[in-house]
Structure 1
Amino acid sequence: MSLFDALRDDPESVVSIIEHTNVDPAATEAEIRTLCEEVLEYGFRSAVVVPYHVELAQGILGDRANVVAVIGFPYGIQNSTAKRAEADALLEHADELDMVMNRTAFANGDDESVVEDVRAVKDAIDDRTLKCIIESPTLSPEEIRHAATLVEEGGAEFVKTAVGYDGPTDPVEIEAIRGGLDSDTEIKASGGISSFEEVLEMVEAGATRIGASSGVEIYESTR
Protein backbone atom coordinates (compact mmCIF):
# COMPACT_ATOMS: atom_id res chain seq x y z
CA MET A 1 0.00 0.00 0.00
CA SER A 2 1.31 3.44 -0.89
CA LEU A 3 1.78 6.14 1.72
CA PHE A 4 -0.99 8.14 0.04
CA ASP A 5 -3.44 5.24 0.30
CA ALA A 6 -2.40 4.53 3.89
CA LEU A 7 -3.11 8.12 4.90
CA ARG A 8 -6.48 8.12 3.15
CA ASP A 9 -7.44 4.92 4.98
CA ASP A 10 -6.16 6.15 8.35
CA PRO A 11 -5.88 9.96 8.37
CA GLU A 12 -4.76 10.15 11.99
CA SER A 13 -1.61 8.22 11.06
CA VAL A 14 -0.38 11.43 9.44
CA VAL A 15 1.40 12.16 12.72
CA SER A 16 4.01 9.56 11.80
CA ILE A 17 5.35 11.71 8.95
CA ILE A 18 5.00 15.16 10.53
CA GLU A 19 8.11 16.93 11.79
CA HIS A 20 6.59 19.46 14.20
CA THR A 21 8.55 22.68 13.78
CA ASN A 22 9.49 25.89 15.54
CA VAL A 23 12.51 27.58 13.98
CA ASP A 24 11.48 31.11 14.87
CA PRO A 25 14.72 32.92 15.81
CA ALA A 26 12.84 34.54 18.70
CA ALA A 27 11.34 31.29 20.03
CA THR A 28 11.48 31.06 23.82
CA GLU A 29 12.31 28.01 25.91
CA ALA A 30 8.67 27.89 27.00
CA GLU A 31 7.56 27.72 23.37
CA ILE A 32 10.00 24.91 22.62
CA ARG A 33 8.77 23.02 25.67
CA THR A 34 5.24 23.34 24.32
CA LEU A 35 6.41 22.14 20.90
CA CYS A 36 8.03 19.06 22.41
CA GLU A 37 5.07 18.34 24.65
CA GLU A 38 2.85 18.42 21.56
CA VAL A 39 5.23 16.03 19.79
CA LEU A 40 4.77 13.56 22.64
CA GLU A 41 1.04 14.14 23.07
CA TYR A 42 0.16 13.68 19.41
CA GLY A 43 2.90 11.25 18.42
CA PHE A 44 4.62 13.39 15.82
CA ARG A 45 7.77 11.98 14.30
CA SER A 46 10.11 14.71 15.53
CA ALA A 47 10.65 18.24 16.75
CA VAL A 48 12.56 20.61 14.47
CA VAL A 49 14.39 23.43 16.24
CA VAL A 50 17.28 25.85 15.85
CA PRO A 51 20.66 24.80 17.28
CA TYR A 52 20.22 26.87 20.44
CA HIS A 53 17.24 24.72 21.48
CA VAL A 54 18.56 21.29 20.47
CA GLU A 55 19.79 20.24 23.92
CA LEU A 56 16.53 21.37 25.52
CA ALA A 57 14.46 19.42 22.99
CA GLN A 58 16.56 16.29 23.40
CA GLY A 59 16.21 16.48 27.16
CA ILE A 60 12.42 16.54 26.86
CA LEU A 61 11.99 14.00 24.07
CA GLY A 62 14.72 11.52 24.99
CA ASP A 63 14.33 8.47 22.80
CA ARG A 64 10.56 8.92 22.35
CA ALA A 65 10.87 11.14 19.27
CA ASN A 66 13.62 12.54 17.09
CA VAL A 67 15.25 15.93 17.44
CA VAL A 68 16.01 17.65 14.14
CA ALA A 69 18.38 20.63 14.04
CA VAL A 70 18.58 23.14 11.22
CA ILE A 71 22.02 24.26 10.07
CA GLY A 72 23.23 26.85 7.62
CA PHE A 73 19.88 28.42 8.33
CA PRO A 74 18.07 30.15 6.71
CA TYR A 75 19.97 31.05 3.51
CA GLY A 76 22.77 28.46 3.27
CA ILE A 77 25.42 31.10 2.60
CA GLN A 78 27.91 29.82 5.18
CA ASN A 79 30.91 27.96 3.80
CA SER A 80 31.26 24.20 4.13
CA THR A 81 33.76 24.43 6.98
CA ALA A 82 31.31 26.46 9.05
CA LYS A 83 28.43 24.09 8.29
CA ARG A 84 30.50 21.07 9.18
CA ALA A 85 31.57 22.66 12.46
CA GLU A 86 27.94 23.47 13.22
CA ALA A 87 26.97 19.87 12.51
CA ASP A 88 29.78 18.50 14.70
CA ALA A 89 28.60 20.60 17.63
CA LEU A 90 25.08 19.18 17.39
CA LEU A 91 25.78 15.47 17.11
CA GLU A 92 25.45 14.79 20.84
CA HIS A 93 21.80 15.89 20.90
CA ALA A 94 20.41 15.85 17.33
CA ASP A 95 19.13 12.75 15.55
CA GLU A 96 18.77 14.38 12.12
CA LEU A 97 19.95 17.57 10.45
CA ASP A 98 18.17 19.82 7.98
CA MET A 99 20.79 21.90 6.17
CA VAL A 100 20.27 24.69 3.65
CA MET A 101 21.91 24.29 0.27
CA ASN A 102 24.48 26.93 -0.63
CA ARG A 103 22.03 29.06 -2.55
CA THR A 104 24.68 31.56 -3.62
CA ALA A 105 26.81 28.84 -5.18
CA PHE A 106 23.75 27.43 -6.92
CA ALA A 107 22.72 30.83 -8.27
CA ASN A 108 26.23 31.26 -9.70
CA GLY A 109 26.21 27.88 -11.43
CA ASP A 110 28.90 26.49 -9.13
CA ASP A 111 27.59 22.93 -9.05
CA GLU A 112 30.78 21.51 -7.58
CA SER A 113 30.56 23.74 -4.52
CA VAL A 114 26.90 22.84 -4.01
CA VAL A 115 27.69 19.13 -4.06
CA GLU A 116 30.78 19.45 -1.86
CA ASP A 117 28.84 21.53 0.66
CA VAL A 118 26.27 18.77 1.09
CA ARG A 119 28.95 16.08 1.13
CA ALA A 120 30.94 17.88 3.84
CA VAL A 121 27.97 17.84 6.20
CA LYS A 122 27.02 14.27 5.35
CA ASP A 123 30.58 13.12 6.05
CA ALA A 124 30.44 14.88 9.42
CA ILE A 125 27.22 13.23 10.58
CA ASP A 126 27.90 9.72 9.26
CA ASP A 127 24.76 7.57 9.58
CA ARG A 128 22.41 10.27 10.82
CA THR A 129 19.79 11.40 8.32
CA LEU A 130 20.56 14.54 6.33
CA LYS A 131 17.91 16.62 4.58
CA CYS A 132 18.94 19.49 2.34
CA ILE A 133 16.70 22.50 1.73
CA ILE A 134 16.79 23.91 -1.80
CA GLU A 135 14.21 26.70 -1.30
CA SER A 136 12.10 25.50 -4.20
CA PRO A 137 9.55 28.37 -4.12
CA THR A 138 12.29 30.63 -5.49
CA LEU A 139 13.28 28.30 -8.35
CA SER A 140 11.93 27.33 -11.75
CA PRO A 141 10.96 23.67 -12.33
CA GLU A 142 14.18 23.14 -14.28
CA GLU A 143 16.25 24.69 -11.48
CA ILE A 144 14.41 22.57 -8.90
CA ARG A 145 15.23 19.36 -10.77
CA HIS A 146 18.87 20.39 -11.10
CA ALA A 147 19.18 21.35 -7.43
CA ALA A 148 17.64 18.03 -6.40
CA THR A 149 20.15 16.15 -8.53
CA LEU A 150 23.06 18.00 -6.91
CA VAL A 151 21.76 17.40 -3.39
CA GLU A 152 21.38 13.71 -4.13
CA GLU A 153 24.92 13.60 -5.52
CA GLY A 154 26.15 15.12 -2.27
CA GLY A 155 24.70 12.22 -0.31
CA ALA A 156 21.65 13.68 1.46
CA GLU A 157 18.87 11.21 2.15
CA PHE A 158 16.15 13.83 1.59
CA VAL A 159 15.62 16.89 -0.55
CA LYS A 160 13.56 19.39 1.45
CA THR A 161 11.56 22.11 -0.25
CA ALA A 162 11.79 25.26 1.85
CA VAL A 163 12.48 27.05 5.11
CA GLY A 164 9.11 28.77 4.80
CA TYR A 165 10.31 32.35 4.43
CA ASP A 166 9.87 32.71 0.65
CA GLY A 167 6.33 31.56 0.16
CA PRO A 168 4.43 28.29 0.51
CA THR A 169 5.44 25.07 -1.16
CA ASP A 170 3.35 23.88 -4.10
CA PRO A 171 2.89 20.20 -5.07
CA VAL A 172 4.30 21.09 -8.49
CA GLU A 173 7.63 21.70 -6.75
CA ILE A 174 7.49 18.21 -5.24
CA GLU A 175 6.91 16.75 -8.69
CA ALA A 176 9.89 18.69 -10.05
CA ILE A 177 12.12 17.45 -7.23
CA ARG A 178 11.06 13.86 -7.92
CA GLY A 179 11.97 14.39 -11.55
CA GLY A 180 15.57 15.08 -10.56
CA LEU A 181 16.01 12.14 -8.18
CA ASP A 182 16.62 8.43 -8.19
CA SER A 183 14.02 6.39 -6.38
CA ASP A 184 15.97 5.96 -3.12
CA THR A 185 16.17 9.66 -2.23
CA GLU A 186 13.13 10.97 -0.38
CA ILE A 187 11.40 14.35 -0.25
CA LYS A 188 10.39 16.47 2.71
CA ALA A 189 7.71 19.07 1.97
CA SER A 190 7.66 22.16 4.16
CA GLY A 191 6.45 25.71 3.95
CA GLY A 192 2.85 26.79 4.55
CA ILE A 193 1.35 23.31 5.02
CA SER A 194 -1.49 23.60 7.52
CA SER A 195 -4.20 21.02 6.70
CA PHE A 196 -4.55 17.31 6.10
CA GLU A 197 -5.74 17.94 2.55
CA GLU A 198 -2.55 19.86 1.82
CA VAL A 199 -0.51 16.99 3.27
CA LEU A 200 -2.31 14.56 0.96
CA GLU A 201 -1.50 16.75 -2.03
CA MET A 202 2.19 16.78 -1.09
CA VAL A 203 2.29 13.02 -0.52
CA GLU A 204 0.48 12.31 -3.78
CA ALA A 205 3.14 14.41 -5.53
CA GLY A 206 5.93 12.37 -3.93
CA ALA A 207 6.71 13.67 -0.43
CA THR A 208 7.30 11.21 2.41
CA ARG A 209 7.89 13.69 5.25
CA ILE A 210 6.08 16.89 6.16
CA GLY A 211 7.64 19.79 8.03
CA ALA A 212 5.08 22.07 9.63
CA SER A 213 4.63 24.47 12.49
CA SER A 214 0.92 23.61 12.23
CA GLY A 215 1.22 19.96 13.20
CA VAL A 216 -1.62 20.14 15.70
CA GLU A 217 -3.90 21.89 13.22
CA ILE A 218 -3.10 19.26 10.59
CA TYR A 219 -3.96 16.48 12.99
CA GLU A 220 -7.18 18.17 14.10
CA SER A 221 -8.21 18.58 10.46
CA THR A 222 -8.29 14.77 10.10
CA ARG A 223 -11.09 14.42 12.63
Structure 2
Amino acid sequence: MAAYTIDQLAQLIDHTNLKADTKPEAIKQLCQEAKDYHFKMVAVNQVQSELCAQELADTDIHVGAAIAFPLGQTSIAAKVFETQDAIAKGAQEIDYVINLTQAKAGNLAYIKEEMAALVSVCRQAQVICKVIFETAYLEKEEIIAIATIAKEVKPDFIKTSTGFAATGARAEDVRLMKETVGDAVKVKAAGGIRDLETLITMVQNGAERIGTSAGIAIIEEARFYLTRHRTNQIKI
Protein backbone atom coordinates (compact mmCIF):
# COMPACT_ATOMS: atom_id res chain seq x y z
CA MET A 1 0.00 0.00 0.00
CA ALA A 2 1.26 3.47 -0.94
CA ALA A 3 0.13 6.91 0.19
CA TYR A 4 -0.52 9.68 -2.35
CA THR A 5 -0.73 13.43 -1.89
CA ILE A 6 -2.94 15.46 -4.21
CA ASP A 7 0.04 16.33 -6.39
CA GLN A 8 1.15 12.69 -6.55
CA LEU A 9 -2.37 11.69 -7.63
CA ALA A 10 -2.36 14.39 -10.30
CA GLN A 11 0.98 13.06 -11.56
CA LEU A 12 -0.73 9.75 -12.34
CA ILE A 13 -3.13 11.44 -14.75
CA ASP A 14 -2.89 12.04 -18.49
CA HIS A 15 -5.39 14.90 -18.94
CA THR A 16 -7.27 14.01 -22.09
CA ASN A 17 -9.19 15.63 -24.93
CA LEU A 18 -9.36 13.45 -28.04
CA LYS A 19 -12.67 14.63 -29.45
CA ALA A 20 -12.78 15.04 -33.21
CA ASP A 21 -14.56 18.40 -33.06
CA THR A 22 -12.29 20.05 -30.48
CA LYS A 23 -11.49 23.70 -31.15
CA PRO A 24 -8.06 25.26 -30.54
CA GLU A 25 -9.51 27.20 -27.62
CA ALA A 26 -10.47 23.93 -25.92
CA ILE A 27 -6.95 22.57 -26.39
CA LYS A 28 -5.52 25.72 -24.85
CA GLN A 29 -7.94 25.29 -21.95
CA LEU A 30 -6.82 21.66 -21.56
CA CYS A 31 -3.21 22.83 -21.27
CA GLN A 32 -4.11 25.54 -18.74
CA GLU A 33 -5.99 22.98 -16.66
CA ALA A 34 -2.97 20.69 -16.79
CA LYS A 35 -0.86 23.53 -15.43
CA ASP A 36 -3.42 24.42 -12.76
CA TYR A 37 -3.66 20.84 -11.49
CA HIS A 38 -0.13 19.71 -12.39
CA PHE A 39 -1.20 16.69 -14.40
CA LYS A 40 1.53 14.51 -15.86
CA MET A 41 0.57 14.93 -19.50
CA VAL A 42 -2.01 16.25 -21.92
CA ALA A 43 -3.27 13.56 -24.29
CA VAL A 44 -4.36 14.96 -27.65
CA ASN A 45 -4.70 13.97 -31.26
CA GLN A 46 -1.38 14.07 -33.09
CA VAL A 47 -2.18 17.18 -35.12
CA GLN A 48 -2.50 19.23 -31.90
CA SER A 49 1.02 18.43 -30.66
CA GLU A 50 2.55 21.71 -31.77
CA LEU A 51 -0.11 23.89 -30.14
CA CYS A 52 0.23 21.99 -26.86
CA ALA A 53 4.01 22.23 -26.98
CA GLN A 54 3.69 25.99 -27.30
CA GLU A 55 1.16 26.23 -24.47
CA LEU A 56 3.20 24.01 -22.13
CA ALA A 57 6.64 25.44 -22.87
CA ASP A 58 8.76 25.93 -19.73
CA THR A 59 6.67 23.46 -17.71
CA ASP A 60 7.30 19.83 -16.74
CA ILE A 61 3.96 18.74 -18.24
CA HIS A 62 4.38 16.45 -21.22
CA VAL A 63 2.64 16.61 -24.57
CA GLY A 64 1.23 13.23 -25.51
CA ALA A 65 0.28 12.47 -29.12
CA ALA A 66 -2.19 9.75 -30.09
CA ILE A 67 -0.99 7.84 -33.15
CA ALA A 68 -3.22 5.94 -35.62
CA PHE A 69 -6.05 6.88 -33.33
CA PRO A 70 -8.51 5.42 -32.53
CA LEU A 71 -8.61 2.43 -34.92
CA GLY A 72 -4.94 1.60 -35.40
CA GLN A 73 -5.65 0.66 -39.01
CA THR A 74 -2.68 2.23 -40.77
CA SER A 75 0.58 0.72 -41.98
CA ILE A 76 3.73 0.55 -39.88
CA ALA A 77 5.35 3.11 -42.19
CA ALA A 78 2.42 5.49 -41.68
CA LYS A 79 2.62 5.10 -37.91
CA VAL A 80 6.36 5.71 -37.96
CA PHE A 81 5.92 8.91 -40.00
CA GLU A 82 3.08 10.12 -37.77
CA THR A 83 5.21 9.46 -34.69
CA GLN A 84 8.24 11.25 -36.13
CA ASP A 85 6.08 14.21 -37.14
CA ALA A 86 4.53 14.43 -33.66
CA ILE A 87 7.96 14.35 -32.02
CA ALA A 88 9.25 17.03 -34.39
CA LYS A 89 6.33 19.20 -33.33
CA GLY A 90 7.02 18.77 -29.62
CA ALA A 91 5.41 15.53 -28.45
CA GLN A 92 7.24 13.94 -25.52
CA GLU A 93 5.01 10.86 -25.24
CA ILE A 94 3.49 8.67 -27.94
CA ASP A 95 0.36 6.54 -27.47
CA TYR A 96 -0.15 4.38 -30.58
CA VAL A 97 -2.92 1.91 -31.34
CA ILE A 98 -1.85 -1.56 -32.47
CA ASN A 99 -3.11 -3.05 -35.71
CA LEU A 100 -6.09 -4.94 -34.33
CA THR A 101 -6.81 -6.64 -37.65
CA GLN A 102 -3.41 -8.34 -37.46
CA ALA A 103 -3.82 -9.06 -33.74
CA LYS A 104 -7.17 -10.77 -34.26
CA ALA A 105 -5.69 -12.75 -37.16
CA GLY A 106 -3.05 -14.08 -34.79
CA ASN A 107 -0.24 -12.41 -36.74
CA LEU A 108 1.96 -11.76 -33.74
CA ALA A 109 5.04 -11.34 -35.91
CA TYR A 110 3.41 -8.22 -37.39
CA ILE A 111 2.49 -6.89 -33.93
CA LYS A 112 6.09 -7.38 -32.80
CA GLU A 113 7.50 -5.72 -35.93
CA GLU A 114 5.16 -2.77 -35.49
CA MET A 115 5.96 -2.40 -31.79
CA ALA A 116 9.70 -2.63 -32.38
CA ALA A 117 9.51 0.04 -35.08
CA LEU A 118 7.57 2.51 -32.94
CA VAL A 119 9.65 1.87 -29.84
CA SER A 120 12.84 2.40 -31.87
CA VAL A 121 11.65 5.81 -33.09
CA CYS A 122 10.74 6.83 -29.57
CA ARG A 123 13.99 5.55 -28.08
CA GLN A 124 16.05 7.49 -30.62
CA ALA A 125 14.17 10.67 -29.73
CA GLN A 126 14.15 9.88 -25.98
CA VAL A 127 10.39 10.09 -25.72
CA ILE A 128 7.98 7.75 -23.93
CA CYS A 129 6.20 5.05 -25.94
CA LYS A 130 2.83 3.59 -24.94
CA VAL A 131 1.16 0.73 -26.79
CA ILE A 132 -2.65 0.78 -26.84
CA PHE A 133 -4.10 -2.74 -26.94
CA GLU A 134 -7.83 -1.83 -27.12
CA THR A 135 -8.67 -4.69 -24.78
CA ALA A 136 -12.41 -4.48 -25.50
CA TYR A 137 -11.73 -6.44 -28.69
CA LEU A 138 -9.24 -8.94 -27.28
CA GLU A 139 -9.59 -12.29 -25.57
CA LYS A 140 -7.55 -13.08 -22.47
CA GLU A 141 -5.08 -15.19 -24.47
CA GLU A 142 -4.59 -12.38 -26.98
CA ILE A 143 -3.89 -9.86 -24.22
CA ILE A 144 -1.29 -12.21 -22.74
CA ALA A 145 0.32 -12.80 -26.13
CA ILE A 146 0.66 -9.09 -26.95
CA ALA A 147 1.84 -8.26 -23.43
CA THR A 148 4.46 -11.00 -23.76
CA ILE A 149 5.75 -9.30 -26.91
CA ALA A 150 5.88 -6.01 -25.00
CA LYS A 151 7.87 -7.66 -22.24
CA GLU A 152 10.51 -8.47 -24.87
CA VAL A 153 10.37 -5.25 -26.93
CA LYS A 154 10.03 -3.03 -23.84
CA PRO A 155 7.92 0.01 -24.64
CA ASP A 156 7.56 2.24 -21.59
CA PHE A 157 3.86 1.41 -21.11
CA ILE A 158 1.19 -0.92 -22.37
CA LYS A 159 -2.26 0.66 -22.27
CA THR A 160 -5.74 -0.81 -22.09
CA SER A 161 -7.92 1.34 -24.30
CA THR A 162 -8.59 4.34 -26.51
CA GLY A 163 -11.85 5.22 -24.81
CA PHE A 164 -13.62 4.91 -28.17
CA ALA A 165 -14.53 1.21 -28.00
CA ALA A 166 -17.64 -0.27 -26.41
CA THR A 167 -15.79 -0.71 -23.11
CA GLY A 168 -12.73 0.92 -21.61
CA ALA A 169 -10.34 -0.11 -18.87
CA ARG A 170 -11.29 -3.10 -16.74
CA ALA A 171 -9.50 -3.97 -13.54
CA GLU A 172 -9.06 -7.60 -14.55
CA ASP A 173 -7.36 -6.60 -17.80
CA VAL A 174 -5.03 -4.18 -16.01
CA ARG A 175 -4.09 -6.93 -13.56
CA LEU A 176 -3.55 -9.47 -16.36
CA MET A 177 -1.35 -7.06 -18.31
CA LYS A 178 0.73 -6.23 -15.25
CA GLU A 179 1.09 -9.88 -14.23
CA THR A 180 2.35 -10.67 -17.73
CA VAL A 181 4.93 -7.87 -18.10
CA GLY A 182 6.00 -7.69 -14.45
CA ASP A 183 8.47 -4.90 -13.80
CA ALA A 184 9.71 -4.81 -17.41
CA VAL A 185 6.93 -2.48 -18.63
CA LYS A 186 4.45 -0.17 -16.92
CA VAL A 187 0.68 -0.26 -17.44
CA LYS A 188 -1.64 2.62 -18.28
CA ALA A 189 -5.39 2.31 -17.72
CA ALA A 190 -7.67 4.48 -19.86
CA GLY A 191 -11.29 4.58 -20.91
CA GLY A 192 -14.24 5.10 -18.56
CA ILE A 193 -12.22 6.22 -15.53
CA ARG A 194 -14.36 9.04 -14.18
CA ASP A 195 -14.12 8.94 -10.39
CA LEU A 196 -11.64 8.48 -7.55
CA GLU A 197 -12.82 4.99 -6.67
CA THR A 198 -12.17 3.72 -10.21
CA LEU A 199 -8.75 5.36 -10.32
CA ILE A 200 -7.83 3.72 -7.02
CA THR A 201 -9.03 0.34 -8.30
CA MET A 202 -6.87 0.64 -11.41
CA VAL A 203 -3.79 1.59 -9.39
CA GLN A 204 -4.39 -1.28 -6.99
CA ASN A 205 -4.41 -3.65 -9.96
CA GLY A 206 -1.11 -2.37 -11.35
CA ALA A 207 -1.74 0.82 -13.33
CA GLU A 208 0.96 3.48 -13.00
CA ARG A 209 -0.68 6.00 -15.32
CA ILE A 210 -4.34 6.90 -15.81
CA GLY A 211 -5.82 8.36 -18.98
CA THR A 212 -9.00 10.31 -18.36
CA SER A 213 -10.98 13.37 -19.39
CA ALA A 214 -12.34 13.55 -15.84
CA GLY A 215 -9.06 14.40 -14.14
CA ILE A 216 -10.32 17.62 -12.60
CA ALA A 217 -13.39 15.94 -11.10
CA ILE A 218 -11.22 13.13 -9.72
CA ILE A 219 -8.75 15.52 -8.08
CA GLU A 220 -11.55 17.64 -6.60
CA GLU A 221 -13.13 14.46 -5.23
CA ALA A 222 -9.76 13.57 -3.69
CA ARG A 223 -9.49 17.05 -2.13
CA PHE A 224 -12.91 16.61 -0.55
CA TYR A 225 -11.89 13.19 0.78
CA LEU A 226 -8.74 14.59 2.37
CA THR A 227 -10.62 17.47 3.98
CA ARG A 228 -13.32 15.19 5.34
CA HIS A 229 -10.81 12.74 6.78
CA ARG A 230 -8.38 15.46 7.97
CA THR A 231 -5.37 13.96 6.25
CA ASN A 232 -3.06 14.96 3.42
CA GLN A 233 -2.62 11.53 1.83
CA ILE A 234 -4.84 8.89 0.26
CA LYS A 235 -3.74 5.33 0.83
CA ILE A 236 -3.95 3.03 -2.18
> Structure 2 length as normaliser, TM-score?
0.88
What CA distance in whole angstroms lies between the structure 2 residues aligned with 1:150 and 1:134?
A: 12
SS at match of 1:208: strand
* CA shift digits 1:164-205 (9 cap, x unpaired): 112131111101111221312000000010111111100000
2:143 matched to 1:147?
no
- 1:136 match: 135
Amino acid at match of 1:134: F
What CA distance in whole angstroms lies between the structure 1 residues aligned with 2:173 and 2:113?
A: 24
Which 5+ residue runs of structure 2 have no aligned equivalent?
A: 225-236
Which 5+ residue runs of structure 1 have no aligned equivalent?
A: none
- 1:101 match: 98
- 2:36 match: 41
Counterpart pick for 1:120 among 117, 121, 124: 117
2:85 matched to 1:86?
no
Once the two structures are TM-superposed, the CA of residue 148 in structure 1 deviates from its matched residue by 1.4
Counterpart pick for 2:52 among 48, 52, 57: 57
% identical equivalent positions: 30
- 1:191 match: 191
Q: Please, which moves more after superposition, 174-183 or 210-219?
A: 174-183
SS at match of 1:91: helix
Instruction: Kindly indicate whether the alpha-carbon contact (under 8 Å) linking 2:150 and 2:185 is maintained by their aligned counterparts in 1.
Output: no
What CA distance in whole angstroms lies between the structure 2 residues aligned with 1:110 and 1:32?
A: 37
Q: Please, which moves more after superposition, 151-160 or 179-188?
A: 151-160
Q: Map 1:155-194 to 2 at 5 A.
A: 155-166=154-165, 167-194=167-194
Once the two structures are TM-superposed, the CA of residue 158 in structure 1 deviates from its matched residue by 0.5
Q: Please, which moves more after superposition, 153-162 or 47-56?
A: 153-162
What CA distance in whole angstroms lies between the structure 2 residues aligned with 1:12 and 1:125?
A: 27
- 1:68 match: 64
Once the two structures are TM-superposed, the CA of residue 115 in structure 1 deviates from its matched residue by 0.6
- 1:200 match: 200
Amino acid at match of 1:200: I
Once the two structures are TM-superposed, the CA of residue 12 in structure 1 deviates from its matched residue by 5.1
Once the two structures are TM-superposed, the CA of residue 11 in structure 1 deviates from its matched residue by 4.7
What CA distance in whole angstroms lies between the structure 1 residues aligned with 2:210 and 2:83?
A: 22
What CA distance in whole angstroms lies between the structure 1 residues aligned with 2:19 and 2:150?
A: 25
- 1:27 match: 22
* CA shift digits 1:124-158 (9 cap, x unpaired): 22221100000112222222222211233333110
CA-based RMSD of the aligned residues comes to: 1.3
Where does structure 1 differ by over 6 angstroms across 4 or more consecutive aligned residues? none
What CA distance in whole angstroms lies between the structure 2 residues aligned with 1:155 and 1:79?
A: 21
> Structure 1 length as normaliser, TM-score?
0.93
Instruction: Kindly indicate whether the alpha-carbon contact (under 8 Å) linking 1:69 and 1:96 is maintained by their aligned counterparts in 2.
Output: yes
2:76 matched to 1:77?
no
Once the two structures are TM-superposed, the CA of residue 13 in structure 1 deviates from its matched residue by 2.7
Once the two structures are TM-superposed, the CA of residue 30 in structure 1 deviates from its matched residue by 0.9
Amino acid at match of 2:161: A
